[in-house]
Structure 1
Amino acid sequence: MKKILIAVFVLGLGGTLVSCGEKDSQSSANEFRDKMPVLALQDSASFDFGTIKEGDIVEKKFRFRNEGEFPLIINNVTASCGCTIPEWPREPIAPNEEASILVRFNTKGKPGPQVKTVTVYANTEPALSELRLQGIVQGGEATAAAQ
């Protein structure tokens, strides 16, 4: 009987310690999440370049600030098509520092309405952000007809 009481006591104490540990780890996780890097865009995540001629190259610099407490690391940036080329900082962006992602869209061979998406992968929560270029590219025939 004494062994049973000891076993119940040890199990009860172990359960209490485990549940206290879970609360502490949840609190720590929330505290850590609150300090995560934050990619805060200074302007809109979408850029409308309007109507341009085919063959023009559109460039947009998306400025951002790291509003978190840890350095922001951009792991990769991908574009929805090969005609859109992103350039991004390869070094960590310190808290409260500003940087930018330059996106170039080559309109050659791309007449008509366009929407190009650029996905930014970083050590943020959520881990990805999207940038967008959109507008209308007038093809060679539309340009010739307008003249």
Structure 2
Amino acid sequence: MKKEITLFLLLLSFISFAQKGPKIEFKAKDNTIDYGKVYKDQDNGVRVFEFTNTGDAPLIVTNVQSTCGCTVPSKPKEPIMPGKSDKIEVKYNMATGPIRKSITVETNAVNVEGGKVHLKIKGEVLERVENNVLEKKKVGPMQ
């Protein structure tokens, strides 16, 4: 019985130890922002991931990387104090076609494995096709 109590107290101390420190919580559902269907000429490609430090120590964002050069993220320069919020801005280059990109955020947060959080953007960029009513249309292969 004494060993069980000791083991329980040891386990409890590990659990309470793991709860201390900075914690990052993003507002976006599933850490994903959906651009939806957007037109290249009407959207600047910038989206914002908002997050809060829900822990009890300063949160430091050490690095933010995207899977390719077409997506450029920015990170906060200063530590985020407990209870405070900040943002990671992501700019997609609005290349026509589907958007499926990942951004890795590296932090000192204790509530995510290795301090890393994976963010995603998705959607589709469309290009507006304008029909010129004055332009002569081709009718067949002989024309």
- Normalising by structure 2, report the TM-score: 0.73
Counterpart of 2:37? 51
Counterpart of 2:118? 130
Deviation at 1:31, TM superposition (A): 2.5
Map Cα deviations across residues 28-60 of structure 1 (whole Å, 9 max, x no partner): 543231012111112321111111233643111
Counterpart of 1:3? none
Indicate how the Cα distance of structure 1 residues 92 and 29 shifts in structure 2: closer, same or farther if over 3 A, else same: farther
Aligned residue runs from structure 1 range 33-112, under 5 A: 33-44=18-29, 45-54=31-40, 56-107=43-94, 110-112=95-97
User: Are residues 1:117 and 2:102 paired?
Assistant: yes
Q: Which protein is bigger by CA-based radius of gyration? A: 1
Deviation at 1:84, TM superposition (A): 0.8
Larger helix proportion of the pair: 1
SS of 1:57's equivalent? coil
Q: Distance in 2 between matches of 1:146 and 1:67?
A: 53
SS of 2:45's equivalent? strand
Deviation at 1:129, TM superposition (A): 0.7
- Normalising by structure 1, report the TM-score: 0.71
May I ask how many residue pairs the two structures share in their alignment? 125
> What letter matches 2:97 in structure 1?
G
Map Cα deviations across residues 93-127 of structure 1 (whole Å, 9 max, x no partner): 111111111111111xx222111111111012321
Q: How many percent identity over aligned positions?
A: 31
Indicate how the Cα distance of structure 1 residues 71 and 146 shifts in structure 2: closer, same or farther if over 3 A, else same: farther
Unaligned runs of 5+ in 2: 1-5, 133-143
Deviation at 1:144, TM superposition (A): 1.9
Unaligned runs of 5+ in 1: 1-19
Deviation at 1:89, TM superposition (A): 0.8
> What letter matches 1:60 in structure 2?
R
SS of 1:86's equivalent? strand
